[in-house]
Amino acid sequence: MIAAIIQARMSSTRLPGKTLADLGGEPVLAHVARRAGRIPGIEQVVIATTHNPADEAIVRFANERGIPVNRGSEDDVLSRFYETAQRFGITTIVRVTPDCPLLDPQVSGQVLGLFLRAKGALDYVSNTHPPTFPDGLDTEVFSFAALEKAWREAQLKSEREHVTPFIWKQPEVFHLANVKNNEDWSAQRWTVDEPQDLEFVRGIYSHLGQLPEFGMRDVLALLQQRPELQQLQGKAASNEGYYKSLYQQAAAGAAPKRAVVQSQAWLARAKKVIPGSSQTFSKGQSQYVQGVSPIFLQRGKGCRVWDVDGNDYIDYIQGLLPNILGYAHDEVNAAAAAQLAEGHSFSLPHPLEVQLAERLTRLIPCAEMVRFGKNGSDATSGAVRAARAFTGRDRIACCGYHGWQDWYIGTTTRNKGVPGAVRALTHPFAYNDPAALQKVLDERPGEFAAVIMEPVNFFEPAPGYLQGVKELAHQHGALLIFDEICTGFHLGLGGAQKRLGVTPDVACFGKAMGNGFPIAAIVGRADVMKTFEDIFCSFTFGGETASMAASMKVLDILEQTDALARMEANGRRLRDGFNALAKLAGLFPRFQCVGYPVWSLLKFRDAEGKDSLLERSLFQQEVVKRGILQLVTHNMTAAHDDASTELTLEIYAAVLKTLAGWLADREPARFLEGPMIQPVFRVR
């Protein structure tokens, strides 16, 4: 039998009784059951409730409607599902929750259809890994055999309080598949967890309830016509009940150290021949709790790395952001290797330069012409030089981090060796503060060549802010340059400028372009870019083709697969999960994850609300001992899959529970097992 099992109970922390709350004259559960019954291929709808006396109301509802019902454990939901499926002889289970009264039968039918067409070759199909449909249209379909295996073997609290984690966490054991929507609507929240959610759904039903079978497209069209309904959507994170299970099952306490003997040996050798022991400040040993963290890495694959002592880690640094597909991606490496076999540093231009430039002009809104470099500093410095040449002016207003060249780094505390005359030409301004930029430009009218900025870092631009910056720059005769070295491709193929709808005059891209191969690009208006014919922005490896071949393959994968959707989905789970776990530990908002899902920042503050290196060091110390390599960001890749994301959240739960106890101690610094982290400098 193919049946939809609705897990329903009356208890809810945030919205008690929501299951039978009134929605257009009927209980919410009635709408869910009716919609579940309309899923193409469904033969039966069954309700699985609990033995809690409060759930007698659900049993009465089911009996009155003629819906089969089974009662089971309130906490062991996996057993409740298994017993329900076994009792009614259900061989294919469609899991439905009672907080989804906007469930679209046709969307759910796509998931069930894929499962059935596989004819036993799949164990589990969903539309949530990654999610591209609105939250509230979630559908999972799995076999009784998979459910029985989970019921017999699942041990963790989070795997028994929730039905499917044991299955989807193990792609090496179960055959999994996902249904993807053509457009990503996962940011839409149509589920009912809080009073505001219920008001939103009631608003939808008040307009569409008279239609017999309205679905996702109808709701989306209504939200376009009635934007006031959009404002009713709740902001709560999904799956908070699951995060609660993770926290409850987590064991507090310091983890044992991993051996880093070989790392220490290599460090001793490096100190003799390499100033600072590293080629990049942010990769140096001072950025980690020494004696606990690895210092040298040996290899990487996907989202994992192995240090020289053989320890493995889930890596959220990913080479400081370039590995958008993860380490050693087979297709990208093969593309680069094929080009290497034909040569890669030629005496004349190669057609790949033209092909990649043409592709970037198609993808990036501001790109009419392109020049290539090897790293972000090449791109930002070239863009600044072009702006100065184009305008005949010298001064630059900047916001964010723009690389190591004199024109920018002179504005930071790392300005040794930069002449004062050079430092004086660059003027930082604060993000999301139009008055700050206005003040900088007004103080020296007619002297600014460009405003260069990261269009977004870890905080969203205020409404109208970026457009205001563009208008202000142009009013003062300056160009607007977006530094998209970090945001480029991570926030979409067109970068932040396309996602946020503001087109600069010039933009800089890099990092993710080559998935670790060194390549960067300056793109922009043709009249500005033609300045490169006159200025000197020229170096031997600007046209190196192995990296260009890698970049072409990276763009193929980003355009043709769901890589970006998976990054967004798992990044959102980490961001929201960290915040939910921090709340459970009593550490929120002192500990908080902010920013876009694909590139989010972990903030650590002391009891007075000030940024704290002690809190950050303690957190980093404990996660690295448990197998997570991290600075303070989630640099998401397509290789960070459900399993690695889930393991990370389990580790976060244990670490946050541990730190909750340590920070209540009179001397929390005594738990630090090495020297505190020493940041290079702060610009964000």
Distance of CA 567 to the CA centre of its chain: 5
Considering the domain boundaries, does residue 252 fall inside one?
no
Helix (H) or strand (E) holding 360: helix 351-363
503 and 620 housed in the same domain:
no
Mean pLDDT within 45-64: 96
Q: With left for phi above 0 and alpha for psi between -120 and 50, is residue 349 left, alpha or beta?
A: beta
Cα 192 to chain centroid, rounded: 24
Cis bond before residue 597 (omega within 30° of 0): no
* DSSP 3-state of 31: helix
Gyration radius of the chain over CA positions: 27
Same domain, 324 and 349: no
- Asked whether the beta carbons of 628 and 314 are under 8 A apart, the reply is yes
- Calpha distance 474→480 (Å, rounded): 8
Domain containing residue 583 = 261-328+563-671
- Residue 99: phi, psi to the nearest 5? -95, 25
Are 444 and 574 in a shared domain? no
| Per-residue pLDDT tens digits for 441-461 | 999 999 999 999 999 989 899
8 A C-beta contact, residue 367 and residue 523: yes
CA atoms of 25 and 61, how far apart (whole Å): 14
- Looking at the fold, whether 501 and 596 belong to one and the same domain comes out as no
Round to whole Å and give the CA distance between 135 and 235: 11
Nearest to 397 by CA among 464, 450, 471: 450
State the pLDDT confidence band at 237, using cuts at 50, 70 and 90.
low
Residue where the block lists tokens 């021949």: 273
Predicted TM-score (pTM) of the model is: 0.90
* 678 found inside a domain: no
Task: Give the tens place of pLDDT for each residue, 264-314.
Answer: 999 999 999 999 999 999 999 999 999 999 999 999 999 999 999 999 999
Distances (CA, A) of 588 to 254, 581, 583, 592: 21, 9, 5, 6
Candidates 364, 359, 440; CA nearest to 396 is 440
pLDDT tens, 315-359? 999 999 999 999 999 999 999 999 999 999 999 999 999 999 999
Q: Are 450 and 391 in contact (CB under 8 A)?
A: yes
Identify the burial level of 199 via C-beta atoms within 10 angstroms of its C-beta, where 0-12 means exposed, 13-18 middle and 19 or more buried. Answer: middle
What is the spatial order of strands in the sheet that 140-143 belongs to? 69-72, 44-50, 2-7, 92-96, 140-143, 124-126, 176-178
Question: Would strands 304-307 and 312-315 be described as parallel, antiparallel, or unpaired?
Answer: antiparallel
pLDDT tens, position by position, 660-672? 999 999 999 999 9
Contact at 8 Å (CB) between 98 and 32? yes
Q: Residue 605 has what pLDDT?
A: 95
Mean pLDDT of 542-547: 96
Give the number of domains in the chain: 3
pLDDT exceeds cutoff 70 at 236: no
**Torsion of the alpha carbons at 9, 14, 20 and 24, rounded to the nearest 10:** -150
Separation of first and last alpha carbons in the chain: 56
Summarised one tens digit per residue, pLDDT across range 101-149 is 999 999 999 999 999 999 999 999 999 988 999 999 999 999 999 999 9
Question: Which residue, 510, 543, 576, sits at the end of a domain?
Answer: 543
In this prediction, residue 3 carries a pLDDT of 97
> Do 56 and 205 belong together in one domain?
yes
Residue 557 within a domain: no
Check whether residue 375 and residue 290 sit in a common domain.
no
pLDDT at 371 over 90: yes
d(CA 516, CA 539): 20
How many helices (H) and strands (E) would you count in the chain? 25, 23
Whether 374 is covered by a domain: the verdict is: yes
pLDDT digits (tens, 9 = 90+) for 162-209: 999 999 999 999 999 999 998 889 889 999 988 999 999 999 999 998
DSSP output for 557-605 = HHHHSSHHHHHHHHHHHHHHHHHHHHHHTT-TTTEEEEEETTEEEEEEB
Is 242 a domain residue? Answer: no
What's the mean per-residue pLDDT of the chain?
Answer: 95
User: Which secondary-structure segment (H or E) carries 304?
Assistant: strand 304-307
* Statement to judge: residues 538 and 569 lie in one domain: no
Report which residue type is found at 550.
Answer: A
Report the CATH number at residue 427. Answer: 3.40.640.10
Instruction: Give per-residue burial for 218-231: e unless 16+ CB within 10 Å, then b.
Output: bbeebbeeeeebee
Distance from the Cα of residue 1 to its chain's centroid:
38
Which of 178, 181, 185, 193 minimizes the C-alpha distance to 238?
193
Q: What CATH number does the domain containing 590 carry?
A: 3.90.1150.10
- Considering the domain architecture, whether residues 594 and 638 belong to the same structural domain is answered as yes
What distance in Å separates the CA atoms of residue 481 and residue 31, rounded to the nearest whole number?
52
Residue 251 lies in a domain: no
Residue-wise pLDDT for 489-536, tens only, equals 999 999 999 999 999 999 999 999 999 999 999 999 999 999 999 999
pLDDT tens by residue, 594-626? 999 999 999 999 999 999 999 999 999 999 999
Whether residue 232 is predicted with pLDDT greater than 90 in this model: the reply is: no
- What CATH number is given to the structural domain containing 157? 3.90.550.10
Q: Which is nearest to 100 in space by CA: 25, 18, 24, 181?
A: 18
Q: Is residue 550 one of the residues assigned to a domain?
A: no
Residues 399, 300 share a domain: no
* Alpha-carbon gap, residue 608 to 600, rounded angstroms: 23
The answer to whether residues 150 and 9 belong to one domain is yes
Is residue 24 in some structural domain?
A: yes
- Domain boundary (543, 571, 589) is at 543
Chain centroid offset of residue 322 CA: 15
Nearest one of 463, 386, 472, 391 to 429, comparing CA atoms: 472
Q: How many CB atoms lie within 10 A of CB 340?
A: 12
Both 358 and 308 in a single domain? no
CB atoms within 10 A of CB 31: 20
> Of 543, 573, 607, at which residue does a domain stop?
543
Residues forming beta bridges with residue 327, ordered by sequence position: 302
506 and 422 in one domain? yes
Crossing angle for the helix pair 28-37 and 195-208, nearest 10 degrees?
Answer: 60
Q: How far apart are the C-alpha atoms of 399 and 427, rounded to whole Å?
A: 9
Residue with tokens 């008279």: 210
